[in-house]
Amino acid sequence: MKISIKEILEHCNCSAENIRDLNQEVAKVVIDSRKTQKNSLYIAFKGEKTDGHFYIEKALAAGALAAVTSPSYQNEKNFPIIRVSDPALFLNEAAAYWTDKIKATKIAITGTNGKTTTKEMLFEVFSQSHKVSKTDKNLNNHLGVPLTILDIDDQVSYSIIEMGTNHFGEIKALAELAKPDQGVITNIGDGHLEFFKNRDGVLKAKLELFDYLKQNEKICYFNVDDSHLGNYNTQYDHVVSFALNKEADYCLTRVELRNDGCYSFVYNDVRINLHELGYTTLKNALCVLAIAANNNISITDIKKGLESFRNKDKRYQQLSFKNSKIILDCYNSNPSSLENAILDIAKISPKAIYILGDMKELGDKSISFHQDIARKLAEIDYKEVLFFGEEMLHAYKELKTRSKYFESFEQLKAEFLKITDNYEFIFIKGSRSMQLEKLLDLEEK
């Protein structure tokens, strides 16, 4: 982005102190002092664990033009600052102003599962022929979305904006801020049920994106395979549909599961070979293909992008550890994503070891959902299941066969270190708070 301090003062509710040149242009807005670069604007947030005001001096030393502070900040060292009533409100005001100035086509992505993977895959495809910006990691909330918007510069052709939610009204607010030109809901599953109660509640929350797109005559991409979403496509205008198992605008032919557990398929007489595991990856690839083809991305670039895509950051991430092959999928977990993963892994190896941690934010249905996971495991072949967490105790009691339960992480890790001496195929999944990546001595960054 290129926006002057003067423009910020004119369009946001704030005041400047000790800034000598108001015509200086901000190149990037950051809320983490460690990501500060030359000509950044650093916003100091006070969070649950730390106070960003403690890092103002560090951010300025790293090249920030100024720091955005709360009204009570005592500027004893006379730093260049922009004082605001509420840093979060300021961030949204700046993003709202910038949204109206940028020319990039904005594509919003939400859904229970696959948001981040779809975003990364779409970025890979569009980047073959265009400059593209995207949401960083999974910063898809009221802070992440405005930061994504403010990261769009004049050279960007497409911006891919991930939108997450765990309360009604959040997607509506994010859509009204970002003003997307196109949007997709990847699927409707059992996520954040502590707040949404059931899938009907999830559907209601996610459809806030399509409601915005309809009101503004924009494009909705519909996954008509999804039993909840498929019934709604006739209620929206400017619909582009995709499906693996039903008739739709975009479908695949000659779908094959290779020996390595990855799928290939044919579209427009071109065979595309995916290099990430599982049926979930195939579904994400179809979603990406539909969006890319509808934006006139060539089949050559679609093939290059999909075939070069690799998962990372604890999402179906393939790793080697000691003598074993690991599939690490512990950025998050909910009933639908875990059931899909179990079915994926079962197709790849009947001798897999599953290490499963708690699924969070399931409300009063948590026990039954964890028991359902045990019933799903009972339907497949596996070597062993290792359960960890208070909620997974219910799954362990339901399954019993070829399974172990661990009360402490230290006990689980000792078992993990022992079994990985063998040549095992191990799948690891749990909600983010379970931090199961630490089994491999990987720390959250």
Final residue belonging to a domain, choices 291, 308, 325: 308
**Would 141 be classed as within a structural domain?**
yes
Q: How far is CA 31 from CA 45, 76, 259, in A?
A: 7, 21, 45
Does residue 138 or residue 16 have the better pLDDT? 16
Please report, in angstroms and rounded to a whole number, the separation of the first and last CA atoms in the chain.
26
Average pLDDT over residues 237-261: 93
**Would 93 be classed as within a structural domain?**
no
**Would 91 be classed as within a structural domain?**
no
3 state DSSP class of 238: coil
Whether the Cβ atoms of residue 181 and residue 105 lie closer than 8 Å to each other:
yes
Q: Are residues 136 and 274 in the same domain?
A: yes
* Helix 170-178, helix 199-215: angle, nearest 10: 20
Tell which residue, 210, 166, 203, has the closest CA to residue 188.
203
Residues whose CB falls within 8 Å of the CB of residue 6, separated by 6 or more in sequence, listed in order: 22, 23
Q: Are residues 272 and 168 in the same domain?
A: yes
As a whole number of angstroms, the distance between CA 8 and CA 199 comes to 41
Q: Sorting pLDDT into bands at 50, 70 and 90, what band is 445? A: very low
Q: Are residues 188 and 132 in the same domain?
A: yes
CA angle 41, 46, 49 (to 5 degrees): 120
Per-residue model confidence as pLDDT tens digits over 55-94: 999 999 999 999 999 999 999 999 999 999 999 999 999 9
Q: Are residues 266 and 378 in the same domain?
A: no
Q: Are residues 388 and 419 in the same domain?
A: yes
Does residue 98 or residue 442 have the better pLDDT? 98
**How many CB atoms sit inside 10 A of residue 384's CB?**
17
Q: Are residues 298 and 327 in the same domain?
A: no
Whether the Cβ atoms of residue 134 and residue 121 lie closer than 8 Å to each other:
no
Q: What is the pTM of this model?
A: 0.88
**Would 445 be classed as within a structural domain?**
no
**Would 90 be classed as within a structural domain?**
no
3 state DSSP class of 278: coil
Q: Sorting pLDDT into bands at 50, 70 and 90, what band is 207? A: very high
**Would 96 be classed as within a structural domain?**
no
Whether the Cβ atoms of residue 13 and residue 94 lie closer than 8 Å to each other:
no
Please state whether 197 falls in left (phi above 0), alpha (psi between -120 and 50) or beta: left
Q: Where are the beta strands (DSSP E) in 281-401?
A: 317-321, 324-329, 353-357, 384-388
Query: Which token pair is 445?
Result: 């960054």
Q: How far is CA 172 from CA 87, 133, 179, in A?
A: 21, 22, 10
> Tell me, what's the pLDDT at 58?
96
> Looking at the 3D structure of the chain, how many domains does it have?
3
> Tell me, what's the pLDDT at 190?
76
How high is the mean pLDDT of the chain?
A: 93
Q: Where are the beta strands (DSSP E) in 54-97?
A: 66-69, 81-84
Q: Are residues 152 and 196 in the same domain?
A: yes
Per-residue model confidence as pLDDT tens digits over 308-365: 999 877 888 889 999 999 999 988 899 988 998 999 999 889 899 999 999 998 988 8
Of the chain, the percentage scoring pLDDT greater than 70 comes to 98
Q: What is the CATH number of the domain that holds 118?
A: 3.40.1190.10
CA angle 211, 12, 57 (to 5 degrees): 115
Q: How far is CA 58 from CA 8, 32, 65, 185, in A?
A: 23, 11, 12, 40
Per-residue model confidence as pLDDT tens digits over 144-155: 999 999 999 989
Q: What is the CATH number of the domain that holds 425?
A: 3.90.190.20
**Would 110 be classed as within a structural domain?**
yes
Q: Are residues 112 and 247 in the same domain?
A: yes
Q: Are residues 250 and 386 in the same domain?
A: no
Q: Are residues 208 and 299 in the same domain?
A: yes
Domain range for 9: 3-85
Q: Are residues 46 and 176 in the same domain?
A: no
Q: What is the CATH number of the domain that holds 81?
A: 3.40.1390.10
Q: Sorting pLDDT into bands at 50, 70 and 90, what band is 442? A: low
Q: Are residues 267 and 322 in the same domain?
A: no
**Would 108 be classed as within a structural domain?**
yes
> Tell me, what's the pLDDT at 2?
79
